Amino acid sequence: MLIAIIEDEEDLLELLEFNLQVEGYDVVGFLNTKKVKDFIMEENPDLLIVDRNLPGIEGVNFIKGIRKEGYNTPVIFLTAKNSEENILEGFDAGCDDYITKPFSMSELKARIKAVLKRNNKISDLIAFKEYKLDTQNRLLYCQKEIIELTKNETELLKIFFENQKRIITREKLAEIFEISEKSVNVLVNRINHKISIIKAVRGLGYKLAENR
């Protein structure tokens, strides 16, 4: 998921970039709007997070402008303008959510996820320790690392993530995937070659590794 942030306060921009990158997002920050239209056209980001008090242009007017040009990228306003009139202006301009400063980082992350989900950008993420599995996009996030998965690798990890404390037998996995137990071993080894996350339990089957 690619997120562009337009925020003229440099310290806040860096804080936002860091926190969202830790969540597994690709993040590009801008201190003004000068290069943002070209970026949207070339990179097609999944979300814009926009301050309203920007150099040379009000954030609402900027979003109105890109909406008129046909860009439907989801938008969250993150701004100190917090009156009811301000909030209505934001939604009238075409934003998907409106968050006022000061704000909670955890709330921002939840709102981002909700906006992306509403716009069919992501499915629910399934978490295990520091890992987050995106089943729709077949990606495994671990801190700043993003692992691309095949369909079967994604389905296998989904089974383990939904049964985090359980040992799952080779027989059961072979039945689910309609493959041989030998092929189950190959599939597990293929995932562990990318990132060591599943361990064998002698004579029983497999379970998620407690430590990476």
The half-sphere exposure of 65 on its side-chain side, counting CA atoms within 13 A, is 10
CA distance 32 to 29: 9
pLDDT in tens, 173-212: 999 999 999 999 999 999 999 999 999 999 899 999 976 5
Residue 145: which pLDDT band, with cuts at 50, 70 and 90?
confident
Asked if residue 97 lies in contact with residue 77, where contact means CB atoms within 8 angstroms, the answer is yes
Residues 131-150, mean pLDDT to the nearest whole number: 87
pLDDT at 125: 77
Burial 45-79 (b: 16+ CB within 10 A, else e): bbbbbbbbebeebebbebbeebeeeebebbbbbbb
Of the pLDDT bands very low, low, confident and very high (cuts 50, 70, 90), residue 64 is very high
Closest CA to 146 of 80, 202, 194: 194
- In this prediction, residue 135 has a pLDDT band, given cuts at 50, 70 and 90, of confident
The predicted-structure confidence for 78-126, as pLDDT tens digits, reads as follows 999 999 999 999 999 999 999 999 999 999 999 999 999 888 766 667 8
Region 53-66: mean pLDDT is: 94
Q: Are 116 and 139 in contact (CB under 8 A)?
A: no
Band the pLDDT of 56: cuts 50, 70, 90: very high
Q: Which structural domains are found in the chain, ordered by start?
A: 2-118 (3.40.50.2300), 125-208 (1.10.10.10)
pLDDT at 15: 96
Q: Are 145 and 132 in contact (CB under 8 A)?
A: no
DSSP 113: H
Through-space distance between the first and last CA atoms of the chain, rounded to whole angstroms: 24
